[in-house]
Structure 1
Amino acid sequence: MEIRDVPEAHLDRALDLVHLVFHERPDEEKRAHQRALMLPCERVGAYDGETLVGFVAAHRFTLSVPGGDLPCPGLTFVSVAPTHRRRGVLSGMLTELYRRCAERQVPIAALWASEDAIYGRFGFGPATRGALVEIDSRRPLALRVDPDERPPRLIDPADAPAVVGPYYEATRAHRAGRIARDEERWSGEWLVDEDEDDDELSPPRIVALGDPLAGYAVYRTKGANDDTHTPGLVRVDELEADTPAVAAALWRYLASIDLTGTVRAWGRPLDDPLLHFAGDRDQVRVTGQFPALWVRLVDVRAALTARSWAAPADLVVEVHDSRIPANSGRFRLTAEPGGVSYEPTGDPVDLAFDVRDLGACYLGGTRATELVAAGLVEEHTPGAAATLDAALRTDRLPHTDDEF
């Protein structure tokens, strides 16, 4: 098999492979949308002769990390033909992507895992988590804080890139793990008219508060189903707010939309203020949690030195990376709020990591002490994991809504 670029002329072959692997039979509109998504991506394929038997596309994303932004390929449409499983196809394609990242000095990559069991083997660790939150909105939403009383207003989705886009970009700096959105991502992916998972949902609605903007929510609605006695639904895709009072006002608005009885928010951050200022946690319930964005440290040294650090740390870490040998070894990590160094050393080890677990900790969403307790990280010096956690800490947990 040969690993090489997939030209535009082979995009239909790639789509056929993706639909075979994911058991899909999309209509022409969805197929055209997927093709449009693939066009600007970097595309790597595995060819058996002239037959495309493996495919990976990589969005050219920019991801917020503590203290700044990094270029971050977002891997998607990962597919291997069922006739070519367990023959090194995925390994070959990811090895080529890692090589290209190194060549371009891109230190991290990310994906959403269709199967969790696969991607840890390739060095990806779950760096952000999401919570499923459900509100019983058949009665007024009970709140422990006073909502901002400025009137909400609806924004035409067509105006979102200009009106909401700058606010979103400003809020990205407050949380790691968030993808920069250009106008095409807003209109062509985030605010598409028909939801691909549920065609009964309305087009996207955007409610905003304040001028200048102090917060907004993106949501869709669905009417009641009399046959199943299911109340009308408000599905919240995104909510950002400057203050708890603004957030409370937006949640109150969403929970008071006529002819609905349930608000369901997919993928909220685990530290969402709603979970604290809700006046009745029987009314506002977390119904599930899941790993969201998986991060791969392609160049551990470059990734660690590119982020900011919350507290001093002077630790010797041993990293094991079976896919990128240059990352493996023993290194002294010396971090200060003003900078960091990461250099090879022969000194005794304080902490020993597999690269996937270091990736899970990288954005500040997973604590090294938890991984020590789980038997995944070896702590040779008592207190070393707690020291690393303090240094990696962020004011807010990393989070992303952008599935790709």
Structure 2
Amino acid sequence: MNELQFRDVPEADVDRALELWWLVFHDRPDEKEKREYHRAMVLRCDRVGAYDGDALVGFLVAHRFTLSIPGGELPCPGLTFVSVAPTHRRRGVLSGMIAELFRRCADHARPIVALWASEAAIYGRFGFGAATFGTSVEIDSTRPLALRVDPDRRPLRLIDADDAPAELGPYYEATRTRRAGRIARDSARWRGEWLPETDEDDEELGPPRIVGLGAIDEPLAGYAIYRTRREDDPAKSGTVQVAELEADTAAGEAALWNYLAGIDLTGTVRAWGLAPDDPLLLFAADRDQVKTVAEFPALWLRLVDVRAALTARSWAAEALLVLEVRDDRVPANAGRFRLAASPHTCTYEATAAAPDLSLDVRDLAACYLGGTEARRLVRAGLVAEHTPGAAAALDAALRTAELPHTADEF
């Protein structure tokens, strides 16, 4: 057996890397356009391969994302296309590739990494924690949508999908920092991920439709991206599948939901992965009509450089705490550190003082964006609180006005 090597995957090897990915995930797109899209996307990403001699036996890519964090944003590689050849399982292929990715992050000042976990049991051991959560809802739209707020009365207008990146992009970027966990989108991401003609997960859905709130000569005040599915059986109603809905105000959101629930020849509105604190869940007057059908971990985060990550975000309150952090993968993160945070500044320095909290780096990552409370982790036995009130103090300092959220799956 050759010793495994972990290195860049050159463009010449991208086709066989994609074949490995399709093999592992039991897929191979028939459409030339989809294969070419995957290839172009991979070429825009950082690539790590595991080689056994000349054989490519492992592969991963990292999108060059920028992620909103409380008070700002950070470069954040988005890990995906993770593949290990079935002939080389349990030989350290995945561990080696992730170690190489973490090394590159350290070299290029990228303190955080994110992913969506196809198998959640795998990534905790690499220090990833679930940092955002999604809530899926189903609306019975066979009757008028009952709301506790009056919808915004400004006009609604349809936006052509070809024009959507130019129209929606500036609005999305201006509002992106309201919530932590959101990825900056360029035109290629808008067109390839949000506005393709066919939905990759459900080919029976129609093309993307976009409705905007506000007259054409007014600033955009909100939008929704959706698709519809018709039923051949006239006794059955069609479905509206909502991909994303954004608005400046609750009244604006109400206007968009009211529009979606009123589309002719449909009887169900489904929305995947809303924020757990989405206003719809409060201003819906009848929760039997607007039902939560799923709740799930969404974006998983890894703090590759804990000090850089903590000192880059803003803090809602003062906290002076000694954290004892465990990190088996990145030794520089492990140890005791004094966190001195306030709304104006933050320092994080090594100390020999007794800890107030002891926690694994994955649990600190789960708390980082404000989506998980340390007190809940203490109650679950995952974080040790040595000083009474320490977890509450950390939660108060990490708190954000809105829960972190993203629907940008990758």
TM range (shorter): over 0.9
Cα distance 1:230–1:116, how it changes in 2: closer, same or farther (>3 A)? farther
Q: How many Å separate the matches in 2 of 1:29 and 1:200?
A: 18
Which residue of structure 1 lines up, in the alignment, with residue 226 of structure 2? 219
1:377 and 2:380 matched = no
1:42 and 2:46 matched = yes
Q: How many Å separate the matches in 2 of 1:104 and 1:26?
A: 34
- Superposition deviation, residue 25 in structure 1: 2.4
Which residue of structure 1 lines up, in the alignment, with residue 64 of structure 2? 60
What is the one-letter code of the residue matched to 1:165? G
Which residue of structure 2 lines up, in the alignment, with residue 147 of structure 1? 151
Q: How many Å separate the matches in 1 of 2:223 and 2:75?
A: 27
- Superposition deviation, residue 47 in structure 1: 0.6
- Superposition deviation, residue 189 in structure 1: 2.0
Identity of aligned residues (%): 72
Q: How many Å separate the matches in 2 of 1:298 and 1:202?
A: 41
Determine which of 10, 14, 17 is the counterpart of 1:14. Answer: 17
Determine which of 97, 113, 135 is the counterpart of 2:101. Answer: 97
Partner SS for 2:348: strand
Partner SS for 1:31: helix
What is the one-letter code of the residue matched to 1:291? P
1:303 and 2:306 matched = no
Partner SS for 1:254: helix
1:249 and 2:252 matched = no
Q: How many Å separate the matches in 1 of 2:204 and 2:369?
A: 36
1:107 and 2:111 matched = yes
Which residue of structure 2 lines up, in the alignment, with residue 23 of structure 1? 26
CA displacement, residues 29-50 of structure 1 (integer Å, 9 cap, x when unaligned): 3222211110100000001111
Which residue of structure 1 lines up, in the alignment, with residue 195 of structure 2? 191
Which residue of structure 2 lines up, in the alignment, with residue 168 of structure 1? 172
1:292 and 2:295 matched = no
> Counterparts in 2 of 1:275-354, with a 5 A limit?
275-354=281-360
CA displacement, residues 231-290 of structure 1 (integer Å, 9 cap, x when unaligned): 311010100010111000000000000111000000000000001100100000101101
Q: How many Å separate the matches in 1 of 2:331 and 2:74?
A: 22
- Superposition deviation, residue 321 in structure 1: 0.3
Q: How many Å separate the matches in 2 of 1:34 and 1:261?
A: 35
Normalization by structure 2: what TM-score? 0.97
The alignment's C-alpha RMSD in Å is 0.9
Which residue of structure 1 lines up, in the alignment, with residue 128 of structure 2? 124
Q: How many Å separate the matches in 2 of 1:403 and 1:5?
A: 24
User: Mind listing any 5+ residue stretches in structure 1 that lack a counterpart?
Assistant: none
Is contact 1:225–1:232 with CA below 8 Å preserved after alignment? Answer: no
Partner SS for 2:98: helix
Q: How many Å separate the matches in 2 of 1:25 and 1:45?
A: 20
Q: How many Å separate the matches in 1 of 2:270 and 2:165?
A: 25
Q: How many Å separate the matches in 1 of 2:63 and 2:143?
A: 43
What is the one-letter code of the residue matched to 2:5? E
Partner SS for 2:163: helix
Which residue of structure 2 lines up, in the alignment, with residue 159 of structure 1? 163
What is the one-letter code of the residue matched to 1:160? A
Which residue of structure 2 lines up, in the alignment, with residue 393 of structure 1? 399
Q: How many Å separate the matches in 2 of 1:88 and 1:230?
A: 51
Q: How many Å separate the matches in 1 of 2:349 and 2:232?
A: 61
- Superposition deviation, residue 225 in structure 1: 4.8
CA displacement, residues 107-127 of structure 1 (integer Å, 9 cap, x when unaligned): 000000000000001010000
Moved more, 156-165 or 246-255: 156-165
What is the one-letter code of the residue matched to 2:48? V
Q: How many Å separate the matches in 2 of 1:184 and 1:58?
A: 16
- Superposition deviation, residue 230 in structure 1: 5.0
What is the one-letter code of the residue matched to 1:213? L
Normalization by structure 1: what TM-score? 0.99
What is the one-letter code of the residue matched to 2:224? A
Is contact 1:133–1:287 with CA below 8 Å preserved after alignment? Answer: yes
What is the one-letter code of the residue matched to 1:113? A
Q: How many Å separate the matches in 2 of 1:35 and 1:347?
A: 51
CA displacement, residues 131-175 of structure 1 (integer Å, 9 cap, x when unaligned): 011100000000000001112100011111211100000111100
Number of corresponding residues: 403
Q: How many Å separate the matches in 2 of 1:150 and 1:241?
A: 12
Q: How many Å separate the matches in 2 of 1:338 and 1:159?
A: 41
CA displacement, residues 59-90 of structure 1 (integer Å, 9 cap, x when unaligned): 00000000001000000100001111110000
- Superposition deviation, residue 224 in structure 1: 2.0
Q: How many Å separate the matches in 1 of 2:241 and 2:315?
A: 36
